[in-house]
Amino acid sequence: MIGIFAYGPDSVHEDPDADISTIAKLRETFPVIWVDVVLSGDATLLSGLGDAFGLHKLALEDVVNTHQRPKVEEYHDHLFIIALMLNEHENDETEQVSFFLGDGYLITFQERSGDCFSRVRDRILQGKGRIRGAGSDYLCYALLDTIVDGFFPALEHLGETLEDLEDRVVSKPDPGNVAELHDMKRSLLMLRRAIWPQREMLNTLIRDEHPLISAQTTPFLRDCYDHTIQLMDIVETYREIASGLVDVYISSISVKLNEVMKVLTIVATLFMPLGFIASLYGMNFDRTTSPWNMPELGWYFGYVFAVSLMVASASGLFWYIWKKGWLK
């Protein structure tokens, strides 16, 4: 569960399945050593690494007890840094990555196998960039920058989903849209909780002077800090859009309901005179008692008259409604 990269300007040594016994020899041979550990619950392994590098016991407890807030803690000869890395398979899950930065070494602890550090490993193996010629502080920056940049694709995916959801909410509002909006807001809240303290952690590394972080590395950390600000701006913008879409959905449903009610109201209005005429001529007055008792029933064209009256009444109402523009 231990991967080691030991390197200098001219050479590099990779051991994807190393043990603690080889670390001391590599530290004597190479200027920088990166020990990457995937947590396995092995207390002996954790204790052995702590003894080999002189790591503080309180910091090692934070490594085991995950779900810590991103932070920076300074000890007498090393820095302890906690960051949150986005799961490469699940965009709504994060995992804790712990860093121990010391003179000539960097130790990282991950919760599970699989990370976003492949580009950094390739740069070390191929000697690209300035990473092989720099110290362990620059390696720490490179890993933190990779973690921060890993949030951008997730936000891009959320942005595309949000645009599609916005189109559907406006054109065809559906009750399922509300559930999608709540899922979207929950994902954005998770990202905000991960990015916000990460920004403060990077600000601490920039603001406070640490002897383990050189002046040449500070500008790169400042650039990484700027990326977290961009991420926060995007997250806040998407949260506002998602909250606004709830109001848009309610408005769309209200408009749709108003359209239905308008059609039903017009239909009911058109049938009101028809119902009145039909009920009027449906009354059972005795025509033999008085000549005033519904003489129309005795007309030769009485039925035609009643139907024509109904058509004329409905047509007149429809023309009036159309003239007023209530059909638009």
Q: Which CATH architecture has domain 253-323?
A: Up-down Bundle (1.20)
**Whose structure tokens read 């720099």?**
134
* Band (112; pLDDT cuts 50, 70, 90): confident
Q: Is the pLDDT of residue 99 over 90?
A: yes
Q: Which strands make up the sheet holding 12-15, listed edge to edge?
A: 12-15, 2-7, 32-38, 105-110, 94-102, 78-86, 71-74
Beta bridge partners of 79: 74, 101
Q: What is the mean pLDDT of the chain?
A: 86
What share of the chain in percent tops pLDDT 70?
98
What share of the chain in percent tops pLDDT 90?
27
Task: Give me the phi and psi of 211, to 5 degrees please.
Answer: -65, -20
**Whose structure tokens read 């043990």?**
19
Which H or E run includes 319?
Answer: helix 302-323
Query: Cβ contacts of residue 67 below 8 Å, gap of 6+?
Result: 96
136-157 pLDDT, tens digit per residue, is: 999 999 999 999 999 999 999 9
Sign of CA dihedral 313, 315, 317, 320: negative
Give the per-residue pLDDT at 81: 94
6-26 pLDDT, tens digit per residue, is: 998 888 988 887 777 788 888
Task: List the Cα angle 183/184/187 in 5-degree steps.
Answer: 85
In terms of DSSP bridges, do strands 12-15 and 2-7 run parallel, antiparallel, or are they unpaired? antiparallel
Tokens of 170: 């406006």
35-56 pLDDT, tens digit per residue, is: 998 876 667 788 888 888 888 8
Q: What is the mean pLDDT of residues 293-307?
A: 81
Give the per-residue pLDDT at 226: 95
Q: Is the pLDDT of residue 311 over 80?
A: yes
Domain ranges of the chain: 2-251, 253-323
Q: Which CATH architecture has domain 2-251?
A: 2-Layer Sandwich (3.30)
* Coil, helix or strand at residue 326: coil
125: which DSSP letter? Answer: H
Query: Cβ contacts of residue 194 below 8 Å, gap of 6+?
Result: 70, 84, 86, 94, 151
Sign of CA dihedral 223, 225, 228, 234: negative
47-97 pLDDT, tens digit per residue, is: 888 888 888 888 888 888 888 899 999 998 899 999 999 876 666 688 899
User: Looking at the whole model, is its pTM more than 0.85?
Assistant: no
204-262 pLDDT, tens digit per residue, is: 999 888 888 999 999 999 999 999 999 999 999 999 988 888 888 888 888 788 888 88
* Band (128; pLDDT cuts 50, 70, 90): confident
Q: What is the mean pLDDT of residues 155-179?
A: 85
Beta bridge partners of 84: 96
